[in-house]
Amino acid sequence: MRNKFLGTGQQGFNPIRKIRVALRGVYYAVIFDFAVAYKIVLSLFILAGCFYYRQWFDFSLVLVSTGLMLVAEMFNTTIEALCDFVEPNENEKIGIVKDISASAAGISILVWFVILIIESIRIFQMAT
């Protein structure tokens, strides 16, 4: 899409290209970041259980929390990569930026994990 302010990019909006770019980003995140890959697998197990027992609200809750956690994890990975690209040497200010980014991802992971534990217990209780 063309950037109106910078005058760069291609003219027009192409939704297929946008979807391809987004899916390529998810692919890179899963392939190069093990933290993203195993979290998706864990979420898929819980989502399958919620789907099997027709717990639609729980399914939605796990889906939204997983999505938000993945967004935070990908932003954290991106910020860390950009910081390393800008300043490859040890820098205290870059370290603070990376720590803040990691703590934001950590909070989202904590919330996601608590939701997964609660939903796992509920699914286990329904199974027995």
Record the pTM. Answer: 0.81
pLDDT per residue of the chain (128 residues) written in tens, 0 to 9: 566 677 776 666 778 888 998 999 999 999 988 889 999 999 999 999 999 999 999 999 999 999 999 999 999 999 999 999 999 999 999 999 999 999 999 999 999 999 999 999 999 998 88
pLDDT at residue 126, rounded to an integer? 87
Boundaries of every domain in the chain: 1-32, 34-127
Q: What share of the chain is helix, strand, coil (3-state, %, to 5)?
A: 80, 0, 20
- Do 108 and 68 touch, CB atoms closer than 8 A? yes
pLDDT at residue 2, rounded to an integer? 65
Q: Please spell the DSSP secondary structure of 62-108, one letter per residue.
A: HHHHHHHHHHHHHHHHHHHHHHHHH--S--HHHHHHHHHHHHHHHHH
* Angle 10-11-15 from CA coordinates, rounded to 5°: 85
Distance from C-alpha of 5 to C-alpha of 13, rounded to nearest angstrom: 16
Determine how many CB atoms are found less than 10 A away from the CB of residue 45: 12
pLDDT at residue 86, rounded to an integer? 94
CATH number given to 34-127:
1.10.287.3610
pLDDT at residue 89, rounded to an integer? 93
Determine how many CB atoms are found less than 10 A away from the CB of residue 30: 16
Distance from C-alpha of 123 to C-alpha of 128, rounded to nearest angstrom: 9
